[in-house]
Structure 1
């Protein structure tokens, strides 16, 4: 199953593009699953009431997911709650907390990964960037938090827990906590695998113009920092060419200039402005967006390669592609065996390759949209050559 993640600035037409893409794919014969992540169901008005053969539409439901999780948690922790005299919450009377929508999206992506044999293409209508990039970072961040809270070495000592509890005189974590953590880790790993798959790509939607250009640059930077593949840029609501005397001449010239600049950096697909909000399958078919993401060009290639320059300069160079990054909004911090990279509103904690863990950071430079971090071998850790 191929996966296409669609995002872009707010109001750029992401949902319309996602619906048009899924519709075109289904009509071309691909078994297509369209996942909507907006709780207000903006997909419904866009798609209309007509059923399309080969197209399945799902929508996330954060309320139902939260209530199911709350019920399961209270059932598992019932004994401890009774011991403490705590009253149980009524799920139907409890509002989902902040973050419930993001967790509902991750749950939907996990379910889609389970059903990968049933579909040829998954199209996901993500929120606006940078929220979408933060959402895509959640599986990695939550798994890291789980490993810190419940390290594997603690889980390996399950048999000793009752003995340790009696000796230390303090209650040890219940078995179900570790089981729940292990189950959650597997679910998050499934989402991570879906995002890391070479068949997964991001499609950015933006209106050509000054504001859209800046938003597009920021969105492309966030996508690159997450190590995701950018499939294409949909230049949405492109105005028709008019003569110089038309009142549209100014906006058309701005769009033309933006498109020329975008084509130098991205694979751009212009989509005409219909003069109204698209509604229904007939309008979506007119948009003529590319249905299927382009095939990856470098399967198996390292995401962020390391260049060996030990013989010339005595360093190893780690290449991090960050197109559109600005020096004054870029920050690096070495933390143990990890590198914390901050680029404008985005942040990622990246494990160092094994060779670089035995080195010290010797400097960094941003050149041609690529961050190059130099590492010098630590004499105390690097094997000596004879």
Structure 2
């Protein structure tokens, strides 16, 4: 009506409906991410690209405090003769699998010899049943420690690199950026009365140090 009366171009009704639908979908995703009972199962093909993707996914999961129950290593090639042209790819996959097994509950799935989307009969699912998986946290993952003798926060970030980390204090929150991911962490009441004294990444764990602010912290007698 406004568009017809005032000649002002207005978005079509379908655009409002699309925006409302996206809002509902984002809210559903946020509810899943915020649920402490949520676990994640990663699926990747062993190799350089898969290793990079798993590292990035692990970083994002750790930033959100989520845990993984298994890593499905997809399209694993069979062992072959050392003189075969497959020897190189097999060795590359084996190296990645060995690295993954140090941090994950790995379940290899054999290469089918064809594209996974090709028509075929329905074989038994190669993926392990949830009740057969050993639930475990991300490598080095444990709930963030909030009570320490010295004011501070600690959060596991396995696979993180110093040059891709960024911290910003914003009022009563800490904005943590790790690679392509960002999370806003509300500070507990005690740390809201402190200033940030420094931060360090050690052994896959981000540690933020705080110093009591004399202007906000009660004086002791």
Give yes or no for TM over 0.5: yes
- 1:340 maps to 175
Taking structure 2 as the reference length, what is the TM-score of the superposition?
0.82
Structure-2 separation of matches of 1:96 and 1:237: 41
Q: CA deviation at 1:235?
A: 0.9
Which position in structure 2 is the counterpart of 1:16? Answer: none
* Structure 1 pair 241–104 and aligned structure 2 pair: CA distance change class (3 A): farther
**Separation in 1, partners of 2:105, 2:78:** 20
Greater relative CO (CA pairs within 8 A, separation 6+):
1
Q: Deviations over 1:265-303 (max 9, x none)?
A: 1221111111121556724x2423334575577xxxx84
CA RMSD of aligned residues (A): 3.1
Who is 1:350 aligned against?
185
1:208 to 2:41 alignment: no
Question: What is the 5 A alignment of 1:74-93?
Answer: 91=13
Q: 1:253 to 1:196 in 2, by over 3 A?
A: same
Deviation, 1:224, is 0.8
**Would the aligned equivalents of 1:271 and 1:289 in 2 still touch at CA under 8 Å?**
no
2:138 equivalent to 1:305: no
Partner of residue 106, structure 1: 26
Offset from partner CA, 1:77-125 (integer Å, 9 cap, x none): x7x7788576876546x6987x788546336x3xxxxxxxxxxxxxxxx
> SS in structure 2 opposite 1:385?
coil
CA distance, structure 1, for counterparts of residue 59 and residue 38 of structure 2: 17
Please give the per-residue CA displacement for 1:196-242, whole angstroms capped at 9, x wherever unaligned.
22321111211111121112111110111122122221111111111
Higher strand share: 2
SS in 2 for 1:211: helix
The unaligned stretches of length 5 or more in structure 2 are none
Structure 1 counterpart SS, 2:158: coil
Q: Counterparts of 1:268 and 1:331 in 2: how far apart (Å)?
A: 31
Distance in 2 (CA, whole Å) between partners of 1:89 and 1:338 is 36
2:126 is aligned to 287
Task: Confirm whether residue 317 of structure 1 aligns to residue 155 of structure 2.
Answer: no
Counterpart residue number, 2:85:
247
Aligned to 2:60: 222
Answer yes or no: is the 8 Å Cα contact 1:330–1:344 preserved in 2.
yes
Specify every segment of 5 or more residues in structure 1 that has no aligned partner in the other structure, as ranges.
1-77, 110-135, 140-190, 310-314
Pairing of 1:1-386 with structure 2 (within 5 A):
91=13, 103=23, 105-106=25-26, 109=28, 139=30, 191=31, 194-276=32-114, 277-278=116-117, 279=119, 282-283=122-123, 285-291=124-130, 303-309=143-149, 315-386=150-221
Deviation at 1:337, TM superposition (A): 0.7
Q: Is the 8 A contact 2:63 2:183 kept in 1?
A: yes
When the two structures are aligned, how many residues end up with a matched partner? 214
Q: Scaled by the length of structure 1, what TM-score is found?
A: 0.49
Match of 1:64 in 2: none
Equivalent residues of 2:166, 2:176 under 8 A apart: yes
C-alpha spacing 1:212/1:89, structure 2 compared with 1 (3 Å) = closer
CA contact (8 A) 2:105 2:134 kept: no
**Which structure features the higher share of helix residues?**
1
Shift of residue 383 of structure 1? 2.6
Using the TM superposition, give the Cα deviation of residue 342 of structure 1 relative to its aligned residue in structure 2, in angstroms.
Answer: 1.0
